[in-house]
Structure 1
């Protein structure tokens, strides 16, 4: 103990820390740093509550699986993609301390996915999932290490993509009529998605309190079961035409909390399950088109009416790329949005 600190702390400090020598070393390092800061001044010493310091500090585990669990709990995202990526990577490189993974481990992961026939867009998503977990780990553990997944190249990336198709007006009307007469809650997603331009998770994860049938509005906002993709995704949209009819029928089959309670499990929105169920029908009856094609179709329908681009972005919750100026102000009013969505809907209803 430094002589100038003896009056505050006594001749020495002894603290039982841990039977594990590695854990004990971490505790000792933490306590030493705190004490060094306390007695760095030789004239005025602020005493440290040693017991509280020890009780509040716990050495961090460095295993990839454990740090990944912590990351997923904090992020509250759809856990399926990162868990799939994590499971595959661990099967190839092992569940080790995060500091031990190398560039060769990352390259092995990419080669494995390509050999299994994954498209390059899927490979990139898996890379991004693991990269995010490792970035979090390095930050939390204060590790000065380059992420092995950073700027990782994929041979032929993008060359295996295809342009997503869109629905014709005839297909939309046929699908909407089938949805309303089917008695299937899942099929009602088609007009809800097709006439709002929303992402599937945005509709499947709606709370009843997000829906205002008196004003025919839905409020797309984050909640405990699902987050939104971008800050621009928070928005209010009017329900017009087929969307209004579908919403009225869907609410009749909902519970008091969620619009689609069957897809809210353990406090998480299982949008992927809803997507699989809906796409099974859409692909069969509409030449391979999917739920996400409805979103592309809405953008084309708004373009055809010469709707302003920044209004299109506001309706779909797309990230605006038209410059800083388009983000100024409050944006378009709900009534202005209603006019344009009404015009789009009228084109279908008049068929």
Structure 2
């Protein structure tokens, strides 16, 4: 019987809804629930922001039942699943990914559902020994599954229907036939076809283990690697056991605990993730990835040419494999061993992250990059003759492009040990008098990031920098209303500032005739560290000045650290034997 009833809405006004009653039960009408033929379906409009990505404006889901109450229940569940799926699509689009409209469920989700069902059946498996008739029946069932016997296929559909409803999977099923009713047309989705094949493998595996038990074995040895480690004595498979490579990558990219690392750190993973997806497949279960497969990813990356994005010959290549195959026929410069090692470290770092998140127990790429022995081109300090050549050339190099930063940045590095990225982004507020001493004040801001937590520090300004007029420059820039200390240096952010300066400095070294492997701007920091050591600066003061992490010794974790006055005393002691004093740069010549 059907009747109208008034209900009170949230805003206090009354509205009319249909309620269906029968056998003492009342069912509220579900929006979008429509009867098609003898069974019900759910119709939902696709949200406007997802229409283009999904390529459709509405979705129809066959509910597979002619009973209204059952259909209403299934429709509500299907609506919730759709809402969750659409939220997942939005997140994918936000991360720059693409949506496959025909793939609503991942391989990992389907595997998790089937493996969990298989585990439950194995827990309930009975041990029967020496039953020849039973063995014959089991072998007959296996044969029916392998040859796709109609009765076996019908049984698979029944299992699929049970798993879909129990696991609330968003997969359409054929309508249940009523007595005397005609069969309605039904085209199985790719998800349903894949689910049926996984269930088939689970059934065959379960039956083969039953035969093992009939023969007196324990029956927990896998025949199909998909079910390795899942048996009658194993714990219930965790949700993370079946996570796929693609799902893990997406989760890592959106992990809020990694947000502080910034775009520069994430950029290192782009090539690694692409190689993993291409070689292993996004649907590859994370837990099944082997060390040999990780080595394959490493070798694929090693076969890439350097700066491949800038080479016209590779523009038509759609995959990394095509790029590698083409590179093998050409003479382009390949990625350096150091670059390949960096990508290998990101590969290992990805699996370390998965271990920390409980998605894996072991890292299959651990130590794949090799040991940490000193490379032939490892950075080393400049010799005193080369330092004198650099210092003598700074005024002319600065005037060449009317850049006062070209003069000061190398000198600040030599007499403070600061990193390039820390220097080029200095503002007038980063040099101030603190505790009676002029100091570089390095604190993280929205525009300035540092390499390690220990990088935040106070560094007293060396007397040589004061003599050359650095403090005067700061005061004059401040009075003029300036912000950055070296505003003429090109670059829109800290990363670009340091990258462009490094390239120009490296080119200038070549013009000076002193460019060598293992020597760069960063070598000035090595000179500073050696100067600290040569002048007997204690290790705690050395770490405080250079921003190097503490060793972890208990006594180093107590107290507020070395005072600014003590640091200033040690900085004043720093000198370089044989170094010619820098010339005072004439402000007028620089147009200041």
Q: 1:312 aligns with which of 542, 551, 566?
A: 542
Q: 1:210 aligns with which of 430, 433, 436?
A: 430
Q: 2:341 aligns with which of 124, 128, 146?
A: 124
Distance 1:78 1:179 in 2: 33
Distance 2:336 2:521 in 1: 20
Give how far 1:300 is off.
Answer: 0.9
Relative contact order, higher structure (CA 8 A, sep 6+): 1
Question: Which structure 1 segments of 5+ residues have no match?
Answer: 1-9, 26-49
Distance 2:418 2:442 in 1: 9
Contact 1:82 1:129 in 2 (8 A): no
Q: Calculate the aligned-residue CA RMSD, in Å.
A: 4.7
Q: Which has the larger radius of gyration?
A: 2
Query: What is the match of residue 270 of structure 2?
Result: 86
Q: Is 1:280 aligned to residue 507 of structure 2?
A: yes
Query: What is the match of residue 227 of structure 1?
Result: 449
Give how far 1:74 is off.
Answer: 3.1
Distance 2:472 2:381 in 1: 26
Q: Is 1:239 aligned to residue 461 of structure 2?
A: yes
Question: Which structure 2 segments of 5+ residues have no match?
Answer: 1-26, 33-43, 60-78, 98-249, 306-333, 582-592
Query: What is the match of residue 87 of structure 2?
Result: 58
Q: 1:77 to 1:258 in 2, by over 3 A?
A: farther
Contact 2:418 2:546 in 1 (8 A): yes
Give how far 1:260 is off.
Answer: 3.9
Give how far 1:237 is off.
Answer: 0.7
Q: 1:134 to 1:222 in 2, by over 3 A?
A: farther
Distance 2:486 2:280 in 1: 40
Contact 1:217 1:237 in 2 (8 A): yes
Q: 1:154 to 1:96 in 2, by over 3 A?
A: closer
Give how far 1:133 is off.
Answer: 6.1
Give how far 1:325 is off.
Answer: 1.1
Give how far 1:293 is off.
Answer: 0.8
TM-score by length of 2: 0.43
Query: What is the match of residue 111 of structure 1?
Result: 299
Q: Which is worse superposed, 89-98 or 333-342?
A: 89-98
Q: Which is worse superposed, 123-132 or 289-298?
A: 123-132
Q: 1:151 aligns with which of 352, 366, 375?
A: 366
Distance 2:351 2:45 in 1: 29
Give the match's secondary structure for 2:459.
strand
TM-score by length of 1: 0.68
Distance 1:176 1:339 in 2: 25
Residue correspondences, number: 312
Contact 2:537 2:570 in 1 (8 A): yes
Distance 1:279 1:290 in 2: 7
Query: What is the match of residue 77 of structure 1?
Result: 262
Contact 2:442 2:458 in 1 (8 A): yes
Contact 1:307 1:340 in 2 (8 A): yes
Distance 2:364 2:93 in 1: 18
Distance 1:162 1:312 in 2: 25
- Where is the helix percentage greater, Structure 1 or Structure 2? 1
Give how far 1:163 is off.
Answer: 4.3
Q: 1:319 to 1:271 in 2, by over 3 A?
A: same
